[in-house]
Structure 1
């Protein structure tokens, strides 16, 4: 038995909070009863059981056995294992029909654009720089913007593709910038952690990855959610869009 990224995306907010708690504390979660897990996550046993069934398991015992078996297969420490498990689920999930169709639509937009502009702030700003260089090295003219308001001054928006990187999908400056880009009929792809965010809803295409959110113990406002899936998405888009000059049908 295994579960996929597409199944994880079907979890509601409460079920996702239980799943996040399991990923954050794999060693402990494997030994908890369904009632103990419900108490720990301030949910109910019904929520825990719904989560396991949504993921494709018969119940909590079945799911717990799966976690124990997978953990025994890994030789890495659990803190490494957690991110690798999430990445493994994500990479398996992007082969689903739904996600593949989104990727194909994104690739079509990239191929039809005169050039691509990556926009992000903070860590996402650094990823924007990397992404622009990766696209450029792949033969796709690209630029990175760390000041979202800079993007508003451009013209000929119909021929420019904006790729917005935002973990939260709720950054005020980016939302404001996207609103102005929308007024100019700009094309927008967003890459966010969750698909049900303000930025994702304002985009032509949203590519989400649904990783457990993590924050710095040094500065609780600093988001340390893994960006491994973002790098994967960027590299997939660049490779596929640079294969030839024909727009995907």
Structure 2
């Protein structure tokens, strides 16, 4: 089973989609094809093939071929584990792209400029906020966690205080209310980490980091969001390490 994130596939234009469909229909033979041979087979330009690669989260055709070749090993894993591993693999590839790198650099800049950092989240995101604050503090970045939306914020509204807000949906009412209050106290700075980019929280943030996982809900309680939070942990650790690496280079 070969799978790609729907949001990536939707970005393909007509010629890129034709190339993508050809690949899926000829998985057994494309491994030996060069970019030029693939382009000739689909009657498109090599530039079209390269654009398709980038939109799917790969730097080039060789990287995409390697990924496709190795998916057969993952199909032996139980489906629920397979889907999470596949999505995580695509996410990790995406955050190594130039576009993601630029956004991470902007986030790291805000972190380095902050006197201290406040992680905010409720429910499962509240637990991740606690983890984030502890991880940042342990690496040398003074941080606090707020998992109660009504808890007072130390130094709120101060220009050198940064809030990192965690919410898978980006639409949790209590979180939105908290962020609106922070935004009213300009020049509050906010980094949000959400599953999708087009959310209320992302629009209220200075920088929004997204991971684009398939949304999953509990069979026991349909209102409980069970979307994997592995990317949130990855973002937290990447930001912490990059901030400290930048600090070390400046010293």
TM normalised by structure 1 equals 0.74
Unaligned runs of at least 5 residues, structure 1: 13-49
Matches within 5 A, 1:98-117: 98-117=99-118
* Gap change, CA 1:113 and 1:174, over 3 Å in 2: same
The separation in 2 between residues aligned to 1:246 and 1:204, in whole angstroms, is 25
Matches within 5 A, 1:27-176: 58-60=19-21, 62-63=23-24, 71-74=71-74, 75-151=76-152, 154-176=155-177
Q: After alignment, is 65-74 or 237-246 more displaced?
A: 65-74
Count, aligned residues: 208
1:27-61 superposed Cα distances (whole Å, 9 cap, x missing partner): xxxxxxxxxxxxxxxxxxxxxxx68976x662546
What residue in structure 2 maps to residue 226 of structure 1? 228
The list of structure 1 runs, each at least 4 consecutive aligned residues, that deviate by more than 4 angstroms after superposition, is 2-5, 50-54, 64-71
Q: After alignment, is 57-66 or 221-230 more displaced?
A: 57-66
Secondary structure, aligned partner of 1:58? helix
The separation in 2 between residues aligned to 1:79 and 1:177, in whole angstroms, is 35
What residue in structure 2 maps to residue 211 of structure 1? 213
* Gap change, CA 1:129 and 1:159, over 3 Å in 2: same
Per-residue deviation at 1:72? Answer: 1.9
The separation in 2 between residues aligned to 1:68 and 1:99, in whole angstroms, is 23
1:152/1:177 contact within 8 Å kept:
no
* Gap change, CA 1:218 and 1:112, over 3 Å in 2: same
* Gap change, CA 1:244 and 1:99, over 3 Å in 2: closer
The separation in 1 between residues aligned to 2:73 and 2:111, in whole angstroms, is 39
The separation in 2 between residues aligned to 1:217 and 1:52, in whole angstroms, is 37
TM normalised by structure 2 equals 0.74
Secondary structure, aligned partner of 1:148? coil
The separation in 1 between residues aligned to 2:199 and 2:24, in whole angstroms, is 29
* Gap change, CA 1:190 and 1:60, over 3 Å in 2: same
1:215/1:221 contact within 8 Å kept:
yes
* Gap change, CA 1:100 and 1:244, over 3 Å in 2: closer
* Gap change, CA 1:96 and 1:154, over 3 Å in 2: same
Structure showing greater Rg: 2
Q: Which has the higher contact order (CA 8 A, sep 6+)?
A: 1
The separation in 1 between residues aligned to 2:248 and 2:102, in whole angstroms, is 17
2:196/2:210 contact within 8 Å kept:
yes
* Gap change, CA 1:61 and 1:184, over 3 Å in 2: same
What residue in structure 2 maps to residue 11 of structure 1? 10
Unaligned runs of at least 5 residues, structure 2: 28-66
The separation in 2 between residues aligned to 1:97 and 1:78, in whole angstroms, is 31
* Gap change, CA 1:237 and 1:59, over 3 Å in 2: closer
Per-residue deviation at 1:154? Answer: 3.6
The separation in 2 between residues aligned to 1:151 and 1:10, in whole angstroms, is 43
